[in-house]
Amino acid sequence: MRFRGNKGEISQIRCKTAAKWLQFYLDGELSDTIVQQRVTYHLERCKNCGLEAETYTQIKTAISIHARDLDKRSIDRLSAFIESLD
């Protein structure tokens, strides 16, 4: 899948921009389909950002599975850790 700009060139985003949108993307909160496509395109091609997205997804999955077993302090620590990765 290729995303093209005005003159037919591939419209790519940089890692810094992908990182800015990553949490919104993973949470399904990006309403702009062009931005969604650009983030998808970037994650498919950038090993580092793809691994970061995988890590976030695994952490979120683990938290949701074990959420009832975690106390609020533990959840706050994990949330702070996730935020520090930005």
Query: What are the domain boundaries of the chain?
Result: 15-84
Q: What is the pTM of this model?
A: 0.64
Give φ, ψ of 14 to 5 degrees: -90, 165
Q: Can you tell me whether residue 4 is helix, strand or coil?
A: strand
> Which pLDDT tens digit goes with each residue over 39-76?
999 999 999 999 999 999 998 888 888 766 667 888 88
Cα 26 to Cα 12, 41, 55: the distances in Å are 19, 14, 11
The pLDDT-based confidence of 86 (bands split at 50, 70, 90) is: low
pLDDT one-digit tens code per residue, 37-48: 999 999 999 999
Tens of pLDDT along 11-36?
689 999 999 999 999 999 999 888 99
Sort 45 into a burial class: Cβ within 10 Å, 0-12 / 13-18 / 19+.
exposed
